[in-house]
């Protein structure tokens, strides 16, 4: 493995590339990356980098979002067919139909969607700024929120006066975590602060002390005096937390694994940097139409 890591470093310098990795990727991928983070942080980094090539270690919508923000750059996906299950639940065609059914609604779309779907949104958001994005809209605007019904319900509960129509999508990995799963891990670690990702169901979110994006969780654990935490999200987050906060302990629901994220390995990164394969290409009209909603998202931190 040391050989592959060294080869990646060489190729990265030759190509003037930056490697971005999501918090759910495997430990070896996180360790080779220049930046590891949540969807919002990585999108902002992709929009600001001076590198000519962005290697995006994440599911395909993440690379597409980077391309929308930096169309002049080459964006490579080490495993282009690693697809987020939730993004596959909201086609551009279905979204266009829904827009026709709700002509006066503002379409707020979670970043976990295809570029084509984004081209039919008014504003995008991530789990890190969804509440801020919806709060920023005019009070009497109706919101059509797509595609995560759990994140949508969470916002709707926090903003009870806001009229919201929710799409019926979800992240299967977070959605299948039950209240019993969470109760068990909380009971095993009494006194440990607990937190969950807003892609979890309402009954799960109601059980924890804090709800936030993966990076919000890291911030919470960093500033807390506690040394043990219950973390209800995908297990890749453990490596990020343990690397940043050595000495603290993190307890997960071990079945919460995003298989598409785990498909990305060092060999894939080396290969795409070597032969420049896995390039994200998007139609110019999709980039143009998706740019405004995605830029608005990155401006709301």
Binding at 169: pick from ligand SF4, ligand 13P, none (beta carbon under 5-8 Å per type) = none
Position among 151, 199, 238, 239 found at the interface with ligand 13P (CB under 6 A): 199
Report the C-alpha gap between 21 and 114 in whole angstroms.
Answer: 19
Tokens at residue 216, please? 């919000």
Report the C-alpha gap between 249 and 36 in whole angstroms.
Answer: 20
Q: Find all residues with CB under 8 Å of 180, minimum gap 6, and list them.
A: none
Binding at 126: pick from ligand SF4, ligand 13P, none (beta carbon under 5-8 Å per type) = ligand 13P
Assess whether the previous peptide bond of 147 is cis (omega < 30° from 0): yes
In terms of Cα–Cα distance, which of 11, 31, 47 is closest to 264?
A: 31
Classify residue 138 as exposed, middle or buried by CB count within 10 Å of its CB (0-12, 13-18, 19+).
Answer: exposed
- Binding window for ligand 13P (CB under 6 A); candidates: 6-14, 45-53, 123-131, 248-256: 123-131
Tokens at residue 280, please? 């994200």
Position among 8, 15, 18, 23 found at the interface with ligand 13P (CB under 6 A): 23
Residue 30 or 112: the one with the smaller Cβ distance to ligand 13P is 112
Report the C-alpha gap between 38 and 142 in whole angstroms.
Answer: 28
CB of 126 to ligand SF4, least distance (A): 11
- Binding window for ligand 13P (CB under 6 A); candidates: 73-81, 120-128, 157-165, 185-193: 120-128
Q: Rounded to an integer, what is the distance from CA 145 to the centroid of its chain?
A: 16
Helix (H) or strand (E) holding 164: strand 164-166
Tokens at residue 18, please? 């930056």
Report the C-alpha gap between 39 and 113 in whole angstroms.
Answer: 12
**146 close to 184: Cβ distance less than 8 angstroms:** no
134-193: contacts with ligand 13P (CB under 6 A): 171
Binding at 85: pick from ligand SF4, ligand 13P, none (beta carbon under 5-8 Å per type) = ligand SF4
- Binding window for ligand 13P (CB under 6 A); candidates: 28-36, 48-56, 124-132, 201-209: 124-132
Binding at 127: pick from ligand 13P, ligand SF4, none (beta carbon under 5-8 Å per type) = ligand 13P
Residue 86 or 221: the one with the smaller Cβ distance to ligand SF4 is 86
Residue 79 or 84: the one with the smaller Cβ distance to ligand SF4 is 84
- Binding window for ligand 13P (CB under 6 A); candidates: 125-133, 135-143, 175-183, 240-248: 125-133
Please, what's the b/e burial string for 207-223 (b: 16 or more CB within 10 A of its CB; e: otherwise)?
Answer: bbeebbbbbbbbebbee
Would you count residue 39 as binding ligand 13P (CB under 6 A)?
yes
218-257: contacts with ligand 13P (CB under 6 A): none
Q: Rounded to an integer, what is the distance from CA 95 to the centroid of its chain?
A: 20
Residue 144 or 261: the one with the smaller Cβ distance to ligand 13P is 261
Tell me which residues touch ligand 13P (CB under 6 A).
23, 38-39, 112, 126-128, 171, 197, 199, 213-214
């Amino acid at each position: 493995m040391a050989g592959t890591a060294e080869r990646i470093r060489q190729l990265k310098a030759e190509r003037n590339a930056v490697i971005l990795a999501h918090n759910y990727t495997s430990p070896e991928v996180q360790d080779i990356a220049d930046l590891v983070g949540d969807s919002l942080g990585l999108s902002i980094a992709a929009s600001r980098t001076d590198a000519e090539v962005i290697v995006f270690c994440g599911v395909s919508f993440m690379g597409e979002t980077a391309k929308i923000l930096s169309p002049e750059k080459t964006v490579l996906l080490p495993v282009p067919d690693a697809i987020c299950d939730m993004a596959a639940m909201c086609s551009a065609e279905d979204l266009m139909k829904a827009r026709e059914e709700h002509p006066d609604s503002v379409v707020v779309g979670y970043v976990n969607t295809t570029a084509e779907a984004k081209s039919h949104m008014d504003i995008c958001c991530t789990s890190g700024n969804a509440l801020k994005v919806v709060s920023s809209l005019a009070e009497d605007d109706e919101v059509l929120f797509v595609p995560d019904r759990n994140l949508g319900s969470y916002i709707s509960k926090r903003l009870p006066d806001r009229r919201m129509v929710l799409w019926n999508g979800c992240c299967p990995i977070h959605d299948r975590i039950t209240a019993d799963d969470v109760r068990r891990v909380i009971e095993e670690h009494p006194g440990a602060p607990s937190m969950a990702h807003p892609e979890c169901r309402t009954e799960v979110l109601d059980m924890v002390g804090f709800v936030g994006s993966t990076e919000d969780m890291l911030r919470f654990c960093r500033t807390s005096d506690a040394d043990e935490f219950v973390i209800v999200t995908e297990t890749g987050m453990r490596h990020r937390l343990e690397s940043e906060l050595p000495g603290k302990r993190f307890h997960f629901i071990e079945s919460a694994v995003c298989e598409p994220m785990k498909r990305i390995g060092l060999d894939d990164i080396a290969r795409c940097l070597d032969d420049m394969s896995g390039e994200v290409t998007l139609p110019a009209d999709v980039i143009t139409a998706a740019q405004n909603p995605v830029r608005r998202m990155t401006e709301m931190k």
